[in-house]
Chains A and B, each alone.
Chain A
Amino acid sequence: MNLDILLEEISSSLSRLSVESRVNNYNLVAARLGGQQYNVTFSETLNAETASHRVFNLHGQNTEVRVEAQEQSIDDILLKAIELSSQNNRLVTLMNARLELERMIIKGGR
């Protein structure tokens, strides 16, 4: 895969994780205050620009980010946070491995 495309994909996945992480943390605050909790899901074609655009169109026909009310326990929230952290680490490790490969290619080309 082209490095540019990979960079874009990883950037998009990281921004998606960032949004999921914020919603997950919000759920903990909402759970303690007796508020509504939410679950956020994304379509496969998310990019960072459209994520902020969605806010103005929450109840409209937006296919990029879907938010639905869902009750969650504190255990669920903690497990979700571990999962998100693991995904984040995986992405960074993958990116670093690919960059290392690129470095080796450049070195080999000399």
Chain B
Amino acid sequence: MEKLSAIDLMSLSMQIEKQKMETATYNLSIINQSFGDRMSVQNAQKVDVKNLPSIDEVISGVRSKEVQVNSQDDGNIVGRVVSYEGGKPVIQYRSDIRIEAQMIHLNDATRAYEASLRLFNMNKEMSSKILQIGSKR
């Protein structure tokens, strides 16, 4: 049983958003990679969060399990690309990742990270303000 504060929750939120940014960046990096056979194609990734605290845990301020944030295969579709080498058609395979969708994910994650940071700072200020109770100005 660990304590769960508002600051911990924002720290978790920033961790999730960071992972989402890394995942979108990875997906964008493999977008143009082509392979000779279907099995070699690298899959797109997505963020998976396990053991997210329940609302009961949030209200009581105690969490029972450690939250796990990981990237895992998205189970994406493999697309075929036909190119011509010396006038002969060559079939290559690549992960079917849409650049616009990944850019939107990246932008969303950046904005959400900023929002989390803002809330983190607000909570930090609230905590430090409470410590001022009883202090002489």
A→B interface (CB under 8 Å): 14, 17-19, 21-26, 28-30, 32-33, 35-36, 38, 40, 51-52, 54-55, 58, 65, 67, 74, 77-78, 81-82, 84-85, 88-89, 92, 95-96, 99-100
Contact = CB atoms under 8 A, between A and B. Distances in A.
Given A32-B112, A51-B59, A85-B126, A25 B137 contact: no
B135 to A, nearest CB: 7
Given A78-B115, A81-B122, A33 B133 contact: no
Given A33-B49, A81-B119, A88-B126, 16 more contacts: A14-B130, A19-B61, A21-B123, A22-B9, A23-B59, A26-B58, A28-B13, A28-B112, A29-B9, A32-B13, A54-B59, A55-B59, A65-B59, A74-B115, A85-B126, A100-B137
Contact of B122 (A29, A65, A82, A99): A82
B132 interface: yes
| Ranked 7 nearest A-B pairs via Cβ | A25-B9, A55-B60, A21-B6, A26-B58, A88-B126, A55-B56, A22-B6
A28 to B, nearest CB: 6
A25 B119 contact: yes
A24 B6 CA distance: 8
Contacts of A99: 133-134
B55 A33 contact: no
Contacts of A21: 6, 123, 126
B59 A85 contact: no
9 contacts: A21-B6, A21-B123, A23-B58, A26-B55, A28-B112, A29-B9, A36-B55, A52-B61, A92-B132
Looking at B52, B58, B134, the one whose CB has the most chain A CB atoms below 10 A away is B58
Contacts of A74: 111-112, 115
